[in-house]
């Protein structure tokens, strides 16, 4: 079995390759060139020239081949453009999920197969296993603090069947760095990447300016009754729960409650207007279970690194969407983010949170 490892230039993917090599698995490293920074952007960071060089050095340290694949076109089409379009619609997307869905475990998996690899591997912290004779499962990693199952809920059964996640059983990030240090890898002390890879120092407004300028057109800021409070310089600069960039209020802090994209309005209100007892979830992907035909009691995570909360989801409607009812009201349930459903640490499935209807 030959495994194609997606090596980002960070410590996690480098150690993933090393652990597979320790098991005697033939490993080939690949770095995906997914975005080209402007000429005046910093040379370091995710997707940079420095990141490619770090991945190449890590591969050389392991004595494995390393190649760079040009994924800029598929990344632009399936990640960057939908990212900009979501902000134009008043939503707040998670581009890492779409990159996993379309690029790493879609395009890259297909390319790896074409090049003769049997599996792909990444440095994500999650566990893939299989029920005897049944479906492939996605479960939380042993290291719950670094668990990334939330951003992997979009994987198909075929992708799960052909993916290895060697870091899923590592209990502490310090252990990952220790392994890299023992192997003499320079990336052992490299900081984790925190930002969206294609968002530069000027923020994501620069991306919107190029791909979806409508999201930066001015409009009104109104309260929940529709009273005009001020003006904004683009709905793309706002997300539900935001407090910055809002006019002052004598009655207390204001927060973005919703975004009316059709009228380019940002609707604001007090903190208690951010609470929701339910949400609609569309574009569902069922993972550990097949699509259910009855309601399910679940734990739900409504954004990356959020604490899971008890909830109940309806049986899927004719369009595949479900209603998620929280046991306790949740703050800032944000359209465009994903709701991922768990039971006993396994990902049942997940989808994209839809905008609230008027009056909800």
Q: Which two tokens stand for residue 49?
A: 């020239």
CB-count exposure of residue 360 (10 Å: 0-12, 13-18, 19+): exposed
Helix boundaries (H) for the chain? 11-22, 49-62, 72-75, 81-88, 95-98, 108-114, 157-161, 173-182, 205-211
> Which tens digits make up the pLDDT trace of 300-349?
999 998 999 999 999 999 999 999 999 999 999 999 999 999 999 999 99
Q: Do domains 3-189 and 275-353 have the same CATH topology?
A: no
pLDDT at 42: 47
CA–CA distance, 199 with 349 (Å, rounded to integer): 28
CA dihedral 190, 192, 197, 200 (to 10 degrees): -80
Q: Are 41 and 17 in contact (CB under 8 A)?
A: no
Q: For position 251, what pLDDT does the model report?
A: 86
Any idea which fold 217-269 has? SH3 type barrels. (2.30.30)
User: What distance in Å separates the CA atoms of residue 303 and residue 336, rounded to the nearest whole number?
Assistant: 10
99 as an active site residue: the answer is yes
- What are the residue ranges spanned by the domains of the chain? 3-189, 217-269, 275-353
3-189 in CATH: which number?
Answer: 3.40.50.620
pLDDT of residue 117: 98
Query: Terminus-to-terminus CA distance in the chain, angstroms?
Result: 53
pTM: 0.94
Placement of tokens 């995570």 in the chain: 301
Q: Per the residue annotation, which of 46, 47, 154, 197 is the catalytic one?
A: 197
Please tell me what DSSP assigns to residue 149.
G
**DSSP letter string, 172-219:** -HHHHHHHHHHTT-GGGGPPPP-S-TT--TT-THHHHHHH-GGGGS-E
Of residues 264, 284, 281, 295, the one with CA closest to residue 334? 281
Closest CA relative to residue 54, chosen from 92, 12, 83: 12
Number of residues written out for the chain? 360
Tell me if the domain spanning 275-353 has CATH number 3.30.930.10: no
Please report the pLDDT score of residue 40 as a whole number.
47
Catalytic: 312?
no
Please tell me the predicted confidence (pLDDT) of residue 80.
95
Q: Quote the pLDDT of residue 43.
A: 47
Sorted by sequence, the CB contacts under 8 Å of residue 240 that are 6+ apart come out as 92, 256, 257, 258, 259, 274, 332, 333, 334, 335
Q: Which of 46, 99, 279, 324 is catalytic?
A: 99
pLDDT tens for the chain, residues 1 to 360: 899 999 999 999 999 999 999 999 999 999 999 887 655 454 445 667 888 999 999 999 999 999 999 999 999 999 999 999 999 999 999 999 999 999 999 999 999 999 999 999 999 999 999 988 799 999 999 999 999 999 999 999 999 999 999 999 999 999 999 999 999 999 999 998 877 888 877 788 999 999 999 999 999 999 999 999 999 999 999 999 999 999 998 889 999 999 999 999 999 999 999 999 999 999 999 999 999 999 999 999 999 989 999 999 999 999 999 999 999 999 999 999 999 999 999 999 999 999 986 555
Indicate the DSSP class of residue 333: -
Closest CA to 14 of 162, 186, 194: 186
The pLDDT of residue 57: 97
Who contacts 230 (Cβ-Cβ below 8 Å, separation ≥6)? Answer: 220, 221, 246, 247
């Amino acid at each position: 079995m030959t495994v194609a490892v997606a090596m980002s230039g960070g410590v996690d993917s480098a150690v993933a390759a090393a652990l597979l090599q320790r098991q005697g698995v033939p490993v080939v490293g690949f770095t995906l060139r997914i975005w080209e920074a402007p000429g005046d952007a910093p040379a370091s960071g995710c997707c940079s020239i420095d990141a490619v060089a770090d991945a190449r050095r890590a591969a050389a340290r392991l004595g494995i081949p390393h190649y760079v694949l040009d994924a800029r076109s598929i990344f632009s089409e399936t990640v960057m453009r939908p990212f900009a379009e979501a902000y134009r619609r008043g939503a707040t997307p998670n581009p890492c999920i779409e990159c996993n869905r379309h690029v790493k475990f879609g395009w890259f998996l297909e390319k790896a197969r074409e090049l003769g690899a049997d599996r792909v591997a990444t440095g994500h912290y999650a566990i893939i296993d299989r029920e005897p004779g049944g479906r492939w499962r996605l479960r939380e990693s042993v290291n719950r603090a670094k668990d990334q199952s939330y951003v992997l809920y979009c994987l198909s059964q075929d992708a799960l069947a052909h993916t290895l996640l060697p870091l899923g059983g590592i209990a502490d990030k310090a252990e990952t760095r220790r392994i890299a240090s023992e192997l003499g890898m320079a990336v052992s002390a490299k900081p984790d990447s925190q930002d969206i890879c294609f968002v530069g120092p000027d923020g994501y407004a620069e991306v919107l300016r190029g791909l979806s300028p409508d999201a930066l057109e001015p409009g009104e800021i109104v309260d929940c009754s529709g009273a005009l409070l001020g003006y904004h310089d683009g709905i793309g600069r706002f997300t539900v729960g935001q407090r910055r960039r809002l006019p002052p209020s004598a009655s207390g802090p204001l927060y973005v409650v919703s975004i009316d994209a059709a009228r380019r309005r940002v609707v604001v209100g007090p903190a208690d207007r951010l609470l929701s007892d339910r949400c609609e979830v569309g574009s569902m992907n069922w993972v550990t279970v097949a699509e259910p035909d009855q309601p399910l009691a679940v734990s739900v995570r409504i954004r990356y690194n959020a604490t899971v909360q008890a909830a109940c989801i309806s049986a899927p409607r004719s369009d595949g969407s479900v209603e998620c009812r929280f046991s306790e009201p949740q703050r800032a349930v944000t359209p465009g983010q994903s709701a991922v459903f768990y039971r006993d640490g396994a990902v049942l499935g997940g989808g994209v949170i839809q905008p609230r209807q008027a009056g909800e």
